[in-house]
Amino acid sequence: MIIVLKPDATAADVARIEQQIREWGLRPHTSVGTERSVIGVIGDESLLANKPIDVFPGVESVMRIQKPYKLASREFRAASTRISIPWGTPGGEPVDIGGDRVVVVGGPCSVEQPDIMRATAEYLLATGARMLRAGAFKPRTSPYAFQGLGVEGLRILAEIRAETGLPFITEVMDTRDVEMVAEMADVVQIGARNTQNFSLLKAVGRTRTPVLLKRGISGTIEELLMSAEYILSQGNDKVIVCERGIRTFEKATRNTLDLNAVPVLKKLTHLPVAVDPSHGVGIAEFVAPMALAGVACGADLLLVETHPDPRTATSDGAQTLDAAQFKRMMDGVRGVAAAIGRTV
């Protein structure tokens, strides 16, 4: 349920409504907008049967949301959410996700030694990428594969941010690590294998660090938005939903990058939408075309794996672009963005 407030509703009016909702055994979630402000009611709406909500001072109307993902829906917030990430060095322009600018995030699958991360950061900056990505903790199908550098990887990412200004995205896999990762990272990633790890979703929801939420390997769009709802319901409204390829019968690529999902998500949710073409196809030569397609269909952010020498990468080298390939991709992304009235 959404309670739409009158333009002249006072802070006291809002506080009174929120308190009454709590007394009824539900939880209020207030969203202040430029055109209208609303209070989302979270919980069992049957408890509100015959409750005189519309007579409270400051209430304009009461609407029932039919979709199960209430806080993530366009009905709850018509305007698109924008997430601002501070630049990592003084005076730098913040990274605005969800606006007119397409944000490109690049980096190796896993955090590597500082010299490799510095070299990567240098060409990211030179080509116009705005953030660094790399996994300190890596979920791998095989228990014998490289699992990441852990806490040392976080320290390396923080060092590169301090030197270059590039904010970074990294994955969290364990509820016990959420507080530490959220404190160090600019954006916390929830990977495809954890999209329905509800304890982990609620844990990152209790932080105020932005979250990049990947679609599950066989997850539907509604399931992705319901996972986002878990995060939003805990008070963290800085969520980016990411299409990263789903499992289908097709074997020519690692996954099937479902770019249908991008315009569908843009219609259903106010949250920024990302595309990960690297995991979507799993083959380096196909990454750039799908990155361009992702921009063309409306993605706000691209997440691309790149490494100075993919042949020596500790993980996912087959889907990783080298510096020259990444530059060519950025040139193409910039052209496509310009054609649809956006920038990079």
Bridge partners (DSSP) listed for residue 32: 37
Residue 183, H or E segment: helix 178-184
- Nearest alpha-carbon partner for 159 in 116, 197, 200, 191: 116
pLDDT at 138: 56
pLDDT at 266: 97
With a cut of 70, list the residues of the chain below it in pLDDT. 138-148
DSSP string, 43-93: S-GGGGTT--GGGSTTEEEEE---SS--TTBTTT--SPP-EEE--SSTTPP
Q: What are the chain's domains?
A: 2-63 (3.30.70.1140), 83-339 (3.20.20.70)
For residue 307, the 8-state DSSP code is: -
pLDDT at 63: 81
Sign of CA dihedral 247, 248, 249, 253: negative
pLDDT at 142: 53
pLDDT at 40: 85
Alpha-helical segments (H) within 194-322 = 198-205, 221-233, 261-268, 277-281, 284-296
To the nearest 10 degrees (0 to 180), the angle between helices 284-296 and 323-339 is 20
Q: Are 193 and 217 in contact (CB under 8 A)?
A: yes
Sign of CA dihedral 162, 168, 170, 172: positive
CA atoms within 13 A on the CB side of 327: 10
Q: Are 136 and 154 in contact (CB under 8 A)?
A: yes
Q: pTM of the entire structure?
A: 0.86
Residue 171: partners with Cβ closer than 8 Å, 6 or more residues away: 135, 136, 137, 138, 139, 188, 189, 190, 191
Sign of CA dihedral 7, 8, 11, 16: negative
Residue 141: partners with Cβ closer than 8 Å, 6 or more residues away: none
pLDDT at 49: 74
Q: Are 216 and 223 in contact (CB under 8 A)?
A: yes
Phi (first) and psi of residue 223, to 5 degrees: -65, -35
| pLDDT tens by residue, 94-114 | 999 999 999 999 999 999 999
